[in-house]
A and B are shown apart, each in its own frame.
Chain A
Amino acid sequence: MALVDVVMPQMGESIAEGTITKWHKKVGDKIAKDEILLEISTDKVDSEIPAPNAGVLAEILYPEQTTVAVHTIIARINTDVNASVTPSAPAPVSQPKSETPKQEPASAPKPVEEQKQSSAVSGNLVEVIMPQMGESIAEGTISKWHKKVGDKIKKDETLLEISTDKVDSEIPSPVEGVLAEILFPVQTTVSVHTVIAKIAVGSGVVSSSAAPSSAPAPVVEQKVVQPTPSASPAVPAAQKIETESSSRFYSPLVLNIARTEGISMSELESISGSGANGRVTKNDILAYVGNKKSGRVAAAPAVLPQKPAFTPPAIKPAAPISYPAGRVEVIKMDTMRKAIAEHMVRSKHTSPHVGSLSEADVTNIVRYREKHKSAFEKREGFKLTFTPFFLEAVVKAIKDFPMMNASVDGDQIIIRKDINIGVAVALENGLIVPVIKNADQRNLVGLAQSINDLASRARNKKLLPDDVTGGTFTVTNPGSFGNLYGFPIINQPQVAILGVGAIKKRPVVIDDAIAIRSMVYISMSYDHRIIDGALGGMFMQKVVFYLENFDIQQSL
């Protein structure tokens, strides 16, 4: 037996839909080929629609007076006339599209529910989009597909991994179904909200591995769309020349020559232009290159920033490095490495960093932790570290000095009301700074839980966009590798970053007596644009104060 679809015909080139005005047959009726099955009405004409095949009307998918789009399947005819149901049989049965031809409808009538499913299986496709992993994130790179087209997938099962400037992340499937389409291959970078895959849902969906040879074609077209060469613009791969930091216009050709000849932007800025409005022309830069090669121009002259103080000067790319062939290993930076590099350079150019170093006696905290740590781990399921103690002290100090919780916007200082503390977490291939939101509203245990949750999710690539955004102050931990202190770089657009060194027992003088105490160095880099040494110093001392006066009687 076979089912033949009856479709709404397109009665005129411009016609998009038709209304079913009358069914001449009901389900179960026999019909001859070209016998009138139904009447339709469109903007242009009313028409009788002949049956495409002889058989038994198996399904009517739309009742009279329904308007449906052209080419929509409106009925199905079972062409096996002998398969027709006897008058005493229950309501005639529609064959789901995914049914294998071997099953005989007459001997095995399907429950009513299955009829419904059959019409629902019109290959509903759920789109998977590139998520926005952070407010400022515009694109993400697909680093791995965990499924291939035709694979079954459960809801929330990992479908793919992506990498963005901010975070690497595993993306769970939004629905259960079969992966119908992968629209971009691995290593493709696509804009956020771009549809990157489609998942077919519904009962008729057949996974490629499960489909028996006799099964009909899957509902969805299964193809991997690879960007064709013609579809990609004939533009060379984007190569960053730091045009954003230049005050002059350079033609594409001049920038091209600068790149080829290894001329940095600051060097370019130093070339005097003979073109309109002092523009550097092709001939100007070629003359410069010629002079440089012949030794008439020395190294790039120092350039004074010509813009207001808040404007960062040009970022000078490293001079081309020469290295002996075969004696080096070239490693291409991954997305995260490039992002860190860019971020750090930008921070150094944005904020004049000033540093202070202090020390704190944390003997009490060490003892307190020693006393409570096994009970804590038993209760909470993870180890109690020193980090929450430091965070608690920092949060309290910030409340005393809100200026530390600020940003600079041009000539305005933006004081943040929320205290969201970023905690730097080292990863295999870099680092990430998840953020504890409203840290001032958490007690010690709450902070410990937050840190543990974020750090483990960071290492398992399960961070969400919200987890890595919105920080107002950052704490980093150079001590975690045993180092006494570090010189951290401010995490923009924040204005300070505090580094916690290694806790070490040292002999210290207390009231003219030498004692052995657990000591820690606290270092801080801060933005001298808005925080002077006095404020920075006072803040540091407040942190020290809170650490040294930790209440060891408190319960945990």
Chain B
Amino acid sequence: MAKDQKRKNNLLTDEQYLQLYYFMKLTREYEESILKLYRQGKIVGGAYTGNGNEATAVGSVFALEKHDYLFPMHRDMGSHLVKGQSLRNLMLQHLGRGNSLSKGRDGTGHYADPLLRIYGNISHLGAMIPMAAGTALASKLRKEKSVSLTFIGDGGSNVGDVHESLAMASVMKLPLILIIENNQFAYSTPVQKQKAMEKYSDRAQGYGIPGFTIDGTDIDAVYSTCKEAVDRARRGEGPTLIESVTMRMHGHSAHDGAEYVPKQLLEEWKKKDPVERIEKKLLSENILSHTQKEEIGKKVMAELEDAIQFAIESPYPPAEDAALGVYAE
């Protein structure tokens, strides 16, 4: 299929595949480096990764435009990168530096970058979804044609915020896309203990909106489904609910050994590792050469090294800054 034709059908071009591969690889290595820095005592507090979730985090945001609003969750570091965030800025956040986007007031992906239209999560699961509905509402009132994309987990999908937001957005036909990342575990609780229906997408019916369940490790499925939802939203046809089925390959956080996850389950999912999956696909379809693969690998590591170095050498905020900034001027 010709490039234009592919785009028209929400299919990916070779060039786009290479970009996606780079971002997924970067996400994987980035999150690995976070764990290392945490274990080296350089990152304090908590450290969360989205190992297994790379295709969902990267592929979904790949369907967005620059002027769209992104509200990522803690396992979506790849989504920040695709939306244009620099590795340096993300590292600064993790290391609590004074020149980070939150100026050390909060860590991890908890920051906002209004230029890139990224609004990080707070720790209260689901709390960002009504806000994302709010940016969607602003977009609608201002006739901006911007859509809002946000995420929730299988466990977090049960909090009231999610229901209230979907109830409002569906009635008001707000340009909102909610991806439920069903990664099988809410901290230690398996998904069977979080829901009684078969699929999370079944809930869409209750709101009168389209719902899809997709293989969250399949970059093509993620991208095309999200692209379709984005287009719908942009046309003013309202929200979409997407259940992306993945596996949380690590513990809830770096201090969780996740002994409660059956080994067999992990082994099964290991076969569907999203990064390996896209790599195999691109190599076999001759979209990616082995030389390119090496080059991308080196590029990723060099960029990471630069970001870590830069962040570590950056200063902490002055302690007395803690007292400032509660109010806007």
Among B40, B44, B45, max chain A CB count under 10 A is at B40
Chain A 107-144 interface residues, beta-carbon cutoff 8 Å to B: none
Q: Which of B1-9, B11-19, B148-156, B252-260 contacts A (4 or more CB under 8 A)?
A: B252-260
Q: Inside 8 A of B45's CB, which chain A residues have their CB?
A: 10, 13
Q: Inside 8 A of A48's CB, which chain B residues have their CB?
A: 39
Instruction: Tell me if A289 is interfacial: C-beta within 8 Å of chain B.
Output: no
Instruction: Tell me if B251 is interfacial: C-beta within 8 Å of chain A.
Output: yes
A70 touches B255 (CB 8 A): no
Complex CA gap A528/B41 in Å reads 75
* Cβ of A31 to closest chain B Cβ, rounded Å: 13
A70 nearest CB neighbor, chain B only: B41
Complex CA gap A353/B45 in Å reads 71
Complex CA gap A543/B39 in Å reads 83
Instruction: Tell me if B21 is interfacial: C-beta within 8 Å of chain A.
Output: no
Given contacts A9-B40, A44-B256, 8 further A-B pairs with CB under 8 A are A9-B41, A11-B38, A12-B254, A15-B255, A44-B255, A45-B256, A47-B255, A50-B36
Q: Inside 8 A of B254's CB, which chain A residues have their CB?
A: 11-12, 45, 47
Complex CA gap A87/B39 in Å reads 30
Chain A 68-88 interface residues, beta-carbon cutoff 8 Å to B: 70-71
A12 touches B39 (CB 8 A): no
B251 nearest CB neighbor, chain A only: A45
A42 touches B41 (CB 8 A): no
B44 touches A7 (CB 8 A): no
B323 nearest CB neighbor, chain A only: A230
Instruction: Tell me if A465 is interfacial: C-beta within 8 Å of chain B.
Output: no
B33 nearest CB neighbor, chain A only: A34
Residues 41-54 of A, flagged 1 when their CB comes within 8 A of B and 0 if not, give 01011111111100
Instruction: Tell me if A404 is interfacial: C-beta within 8 Å of chain B.
Output: no
Q: Inside 8 A of A44's CB, which chain B residues have their CB?
A: 255-257
A71 nearest CB neighbor, chain B only: B41
Residues 321-360 of A, flagged 1 when their CB comes within 8 A of B and 0 if not, give 0000000000000000000000000000000000000000
* Cβ of B305 to closest chain A Cβ, rounded Å: 9
Instruction: Tell me if A464 is interfacial: C-beta within 8 Å of chain B.
Output: no
Q: Inside 8 A of B38's CB, which chain A residues have their CB?
A: 9, 11
A47 touches B39 (CB 8 A): yes
Q: Inside 8 A of A50's CB, which chain B residues have their CB?
A: 36, 39-40
* Cβ of B218 to closest chain A Cβ, rounded Å: 30
* Cβ of B49 to closest chain A Cβ, rounded Å: 13
Q: Inside 8 A of A10's CB, which chain B residues have their CB?
A: 41, 44-45
5 residue pairs of the A-B complex, CB under 8 angstroms, read: A10-B45, A11-B38, A11-B39, A11-B254, A12-B254
Residues 97-123 of B, flagged 1 when their CB comes within 8 A of A and 0 if not, give 000000000000000000000000000
A6 nearest CB neighbor, chain B only: B40
Instruction: Tell me if A153 is interfacial: C-beta within 8 Å of chain B.
Output: no
Complex CA gap A12/B251 in Å reads 12
Instruction: Tell me if A8 is interfacial: C-beta within 8 Å of chain B.
Output: yes
